[in-house]
Amino acid sequence: MSSENLNLAVIVGSVREGRFGPVVADWFVRQARRYGHFTVDLIDLADVPLPLELPAVPPAMQPDMERPAGMAALTRRIADADAIVVVTPDYNRSFPASLKAAIDWHHAEWAAKPIGFVGYSGASGGLLAIEQLRQVFGELHAHTVRDYVSFPRYYLLFGEDGEPIEPEEPARAAELMLDQLRWWGSVLHDARRDRPYAAVGR
């Protein structure tokens, strides 16, 4: 699908009051749209009802399960994505519960798709969360790309206009990650079309 745009979902993982995630996500969305080759869909989990209580039979065991009212749009948007970028802080050396809920309420929607990460936090720049998310998404048959974008001490790195004070390095990191997402996204899009991925749940 070299002549067509890929669908890129950018997920804001934190729903905490006063969160900085939307600032980081909006910046990345601008990078992705400037890069081209993607139709970008910004998903803010703060706008989605995400119960932490999962059903007795998990989504992996019931592909056609009915999810709580209000979650249908999220499920459709994840399913429609050819590539996904997760914007996450790390809280107490891990990622937010809201993000885990969004992941666990779905299963096949993640499979055979590339996942990238934009992290931000006080010290690690979100790397503690990203490393854990790599394991989680691997379990769901997704492919996490090698490179990422990281903002340690993010509160010192962004101006009041929502742009990085020194934009060159994060812009280069975003472009490198987008290159990888574009390659993997194209390859896996065509593979899913020509030979549907059937290994989920095995």
pLDDT, tens digit (0-9, with 9 covering 90-100), for 84-114: 999 999 999 999 999 999 999 999 999 999 9
Give the predicted TM-score (pTM) of the model: 0.95
Q: Does domain 6-194 have CATH number 3.40.50.360?
A: yes
Helix (H, G, I), strand (E, B) or coil at 60: helix
Burial tier of 94 (Cβ tally within 10 Å: 0-12, 13-18, 19+): middle
What integer best gives the mean pLDDT of the chain?
94
Identify the residue whose tokens are 């936090």.
121
State the CB neighbour count (10 A cutoff) for residue 34.
Answer: 11
Highest mean pLDDT among 1-15, 48-62, 147-161 belongs to 147-161
Spatial CA neighbour of 129 closest among 80, 105, 95: 95
pLDDT above 60 for 202: no
Nearest residue to 78 (alpha-carbon basis) of 36, 123, 48: 48
Q: Tell me: the pLDDT tens digits for 25-67?
A: 999 999 999 999 999 999 999 999 988 888 887 776 776 777 8
Give residue limits of the domains in the chain: 6-194
